Amino acid sequence: MFTWLHWIDLAGVAVFAIAGTLMAYKKHMDGFGVVVLAAVTAVGGGTFRDMILDLPVFWVQDPSFFYVIIIAAFVTIIWLRTRNTFPIKYLLFADAVGIAFFNVMGCHKALTYGASPLIAIVLGTMTGVFGGLIRDVICREIPLVLRGELYATTCILGGIAYMLSIYFELNTQICMIAGFVVTLTVRLSAMKWNWNLPVFNPHDPVKDE
């Protein structure tokens, strides 16, 4: 029987597979392209995390992840065929839920295998954003992680919330819920109110010396 952590991992894969399928729909890809993009989005971040931790890649050890990807993509395709317009808001929402799931799972797995809190936050952030980064690069889109609204920063804040919950010795489920809620809430808020971290003044002309 699957553990509750495994179910969370499957949920994150499913949500990111939906986001990948939505992007494939936007780019008018064929069936093979849909599956490839859904899979890359769903497992890219976790693959990168496991390689850094020198662990067996999670989806190689358990084919159930690919069953979930195929089912999520198929259901999303059926739903999209009933619509006449591309629901960009659903893509962004699915992506936000996906990074929240994978952020806390990345933090948890990194801590489990001996990473320090700082490295765990970094690996959680990578787990959350890397699949979407690969997806957007394949589709020749500006990656969401590089756009104006807070994106990777939301994972960092969620990771900090998770680590603080660990520090205060709260239940593991509560710690993960705290990290998930903070990540998702900040990301959705950033999307709604266009929160960002400005570095350069966009109105200042660039002058050559």
Per residue in 18-52, pLDDT tens?
999 999 998 999 989 999 999 999 999 999 999 99
- The pLDDT > 70 percentage for the chain reads 92
pLDDT at 2: 60
pLDDT at 198: 72
Has residue 3 got a pLDDT over 60? yes
pLDDT at 1: 44
Average pLDDT over residues 77-94: 84
What is the average pLDDT score of the chain?
A: 90
pLDDT at 204: 55
Q: Which amino acid is at 96?
A: A
Whether the Cβ atoms of residue 45 and residue 57 lie closer than 8 Å to each other: no
Q: What is the pTM of this model?
A: 0.89
pLDDT at 206: 54
CB-based contacts of 90-93 (< 8 A; 24+ apart in sequence): 90/22, 91/19, 91/22, 91/23, 91/26, 92/144, 92/191, 93/188
More confident residue, 91 or 161: 161
Has residue 209 got a pLDDT over 60? no
pLDDT at 50: 96
pLDDT tens string 146-189: 876 799 999 999 999 999 999 999 999 999 999 999 999 999 99
Has residue 136 got a pLDDT over 60? yes
